[in-house]
Amino acid sequence: MPDTYLTPEEFRAFVASLPRRRMAAGALITDPRGRVLVAKPNYKDGWTLPGGTVEAGEAPQEGCFREVLEEVGLDLPPGRLLLIFHGLSMGEWGDSAYYVYDGGTVPADAPITLQEEELLEYRFVDPETLEDYLGPGFAGRLRQALSVREGEAVIELSSRRWN
């Protein structure tokens, strides 16, 4: 045992100096034809999965399905984790973690209601054309997530680039 311990103030300063990691989560939702639900946000270029930032005090799975309900109006049972992507030194984002959960298959006539404050439109797209919407890196990771959807594996990847 050490003879000295940090004072409460020193311990708080130490904890405050530790790195922080931002977290976001998305749901991999498909229709009966196997097409993936993507949404076009109004605050950035490109498309993304339904989901978003995980708030303080919230588990990634909770944040994911809260965001899905807010963004597209689908009240889905939380699915299992398919993929974790660690973004390392990602510019202004710093280090981040992106979780992809299984959102299941929704009926072709599922009642999707867009959150107009954040989203412009949605589409169900064939997995082979995901690059056209998400870029090659993100699309490739989602195809890997699709490949383990029926099993028990979880994929963990890391990169210094999103795409």
State the DSSP string of 5-63. Answer: ---HHHHHHHHHHS---EEEEEEEEE-TT-PEEEEEESSSSS-B-SEEEPPTT--HHHH
- Dihedral sign for Cα atoms in the order 101, 103, 126, 133: negative
Domain at 18-159: CATH code: 3.90.79.10
Rounded distance between C-alpha atoms, residue 17 and residue 19, angstroms:
7
Q: How many CB atoms lie within 10 A of CB 113?
A: 11
Q: How far is CA 84 from CA 31, 153, 156, 159, in A?
A: 23, 11, 5, 11
Residue 1, pLDDT score: 54
Paired sense of beta strands 96-105 and 119-125, if any: unpaired
Residue showing tokens 């950035």: 44
- pTM reported for the whole predicted model: 0.87
Residue 127, pLDDT score: 96
SS3 153: coil
Residue 159, pLDDT score: 77
- Tens place of pLDDT per residue across the chain (163 aa): 566 788 999 999 998 888 777 899 999 999 999 999 999 999 988 999 999 999 999 999 999 999 999 999 999 988 999 999 988 766 676 778 999 999 999 998 999 999 999 999 999 999 999 999 998 999 999 999 999 998 888 988 887 776 6
